[in-house]
């Protein structure tokens, strides 16, 4: 059996959640890798949309940013950013938003703005970009995140992108009609929100991962499903596709010639 890293397991487990019918608003980084692995394996007809206005993009390498020319060059079309947000996103035409996070709490609220006090921060982060609108306007939200107590926290320092707020029916009370976060995939486990409380619950552990490992890297008291499963390991095709994509990306961004 081919060996794999925790990050590879996370990316492939996330890719498996996508289908041909999805219209996916893609974040840069791990979400982009997962979405493109899905496109290159089991979901060739998935529609990938990036914040810069590219629709139906099929990049050969992973973009450095939403403004990467690779996205526009391979897109079916490119629209103005106001049209992207007003017509496509806020018009309810995007089924899944795929986001990352600097900080995340148990209810799927995301911080990508600041660590520490807003006026005297320890770290100033890149900010929300389009993520706040994605979090409220896409049909549902998938999140990828590497587990660590500094990133999975009991209380985030700043609300950049709204998840389930305080839990329960908080989204509905605010008038939000979309589902919000329905899936969290980390390098250790697959999590889904409890139907009533909306708190993330571990549904599946990746191979070799224990409950203690999950708890030690999480800043809140973790809940585990009664019917806890083991995540199927990556196939040779999935690993090969991901590694080839990453190799092409490294070569392109380093300015070296890609293999024919």
* Confidence at residue 260, expressed as pLDDT on a 0 to 100 scale: 42
* Confidence category of residue 28, pLDDT binned at 50, 70, 90: confident
| Multiple choice CATH, 6-253, 1.10.10.60, 3.40.1080.10, 2.60.120.260, 3.20.20.70 | 3.40.1080.10
Instruction: Look at residue 1 and tell me whether its pLDDT is greater than 70.
Output: no
Q: What is the pLDDT of residue 256?
A: 59
Q: What is the pTM of this model?
A: 0.92
Q: What is the average per-residue pLDDT within 159-175?
A: 97
pLDDT at 152: 98
pLDDT value for 248: 95
Q: Looking at the predicted structure, is the pLDDT value of residue 2 above 80?
A: no
| Span 207-246, pLDDT tens digits | 999 999 999 999 999 999 999 999 999 999 999 999 999 9
Q: CA-based angle 176:178:184, to the nearest 5?
A: 115
- pLDDT-derived band at 67, boundaries 50, 70, 90: confident
Q: Single out the catalytic residue among 8, 51, 70, 199.
A: 51
Residue 32 has pLDDT above 80, yes or no: yes
Output b/e per residue, 215-250; b: 16+ Cβ within 10 A. eebbbbebeeeeeeeebebbeeebbebbeebbebbe
Tell me the pLDDT tens digit for each residue of 101-156: 999 999 999 999 999 999 999 999 988 888 999 999 999 999 999 999 999 999 99
Is 51 a known active-site residue? yes
Compute the CA torsion angle 187, 190, 195, 198 (nearest 10 deg).
0
């Amino acid at each position: 059996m081919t060996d794999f890293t925790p990050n590879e397991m996370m990316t492939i487990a996330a890719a498996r959640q996508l289908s041909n019918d999805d219209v996916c608003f893609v974040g840069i980084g791990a979400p982009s890798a997962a979405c493109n692995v899905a496109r290159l394996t089991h979901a060739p007809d998935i529609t990938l949309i990036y914040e810069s206005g590219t629709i139906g993009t099929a990049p050969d390498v992973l973009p450095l940013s939403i403004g990467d020319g690779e996205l526009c060059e391979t897109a079916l079309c490119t629209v103005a950013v106001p049209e992207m947000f007003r017509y496509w996103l806020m018009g309810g035409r995007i089924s899944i938003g795929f986001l990352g996070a600097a900080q995340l709490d148990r209810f799927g609220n995301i911080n990508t703005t600041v660590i520490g006090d807003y006026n005297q921060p320890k770290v100033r982060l890149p900010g929300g970009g389009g993520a706040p609108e994605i979090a409220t306007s896409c049909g549902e939200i998938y999140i990828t995140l590497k587990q660590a107590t500094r990133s999975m926290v009991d209380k985030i320092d700043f609300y950049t992108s709204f998840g389930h707020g305080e839990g329960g029916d908080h989204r509905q009370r605010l008038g939000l009609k979309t589902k919000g976060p329905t899936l969290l995939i980390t390098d250790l486990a697959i999590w889904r929100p409890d139907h009533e409380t909306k708190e993330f619950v571990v549904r599946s552990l990746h191979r070799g991962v224990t409950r203690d490992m999950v708890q030690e890297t999480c800043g809140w008291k973790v809940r585990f499903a009664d019917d806890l499963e083991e995540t199927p390991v990556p196939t040779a095709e999935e690993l090969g596709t991901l590694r080839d994509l990453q190799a092409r990306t490294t070569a392109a961004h380093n300015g070296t010639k890609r293999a024919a």
